[in-house]
Amino acid sequence: MEASGWEPEDFEEVPCDVWPAHIRAFELACYLRRQLRTSFSGVLGFDLGPADAWMRRRGIPDSEQIVLEQQLADIEIGMLKTVNKKKD
């Protein structure tokens, strides 16, 4: 968690475990944590331009990139539900 830039205090609940098959997508999400598109209504999602560069630098084949993009989309959905949650 420390390598991702998050702190335990950033979470109301204990963070979930990451499935081994999703480690690379989690690493990509951590890399993109500062690459968020925002508006006055909140966070819209990841800016995916840097994701392509991240995957190319690591030599990830195109077929795996498609899977990573799908996994990243799942992570993004969960992230958006959390960060855009209305506080009472």
Q: Which residues does residue 65 pair with via DSSP β-bridges, in sequence order?
A: none
- Which residues lie closer than 8 Å to 52 by C-beta, 6 or more apart? 65
Is the pTM for the entire model greater than 0.85? no
Per-residue pLDDT of the chain (88 residues; tens, 9 = 90+): 455 566 666 666 656 677 778 889 999 998 998 888 988 888 899 999 999 999 999 999 999 999 999 999 999 998 888 888 766 5
Asked if 80 and 43 count as a contact pair (C-beta separation under 8 A), the reply is yes
Work out the burial of residue 31: count CB atoms within 10 Å of its CB; fewer than 13 is exposed, 13-18 middle, 19 or more buried: middle
Residue 61 amino acid letter: P
Distance of alpha carbon 28 from alpha carbon 88, whole angstroms: 32
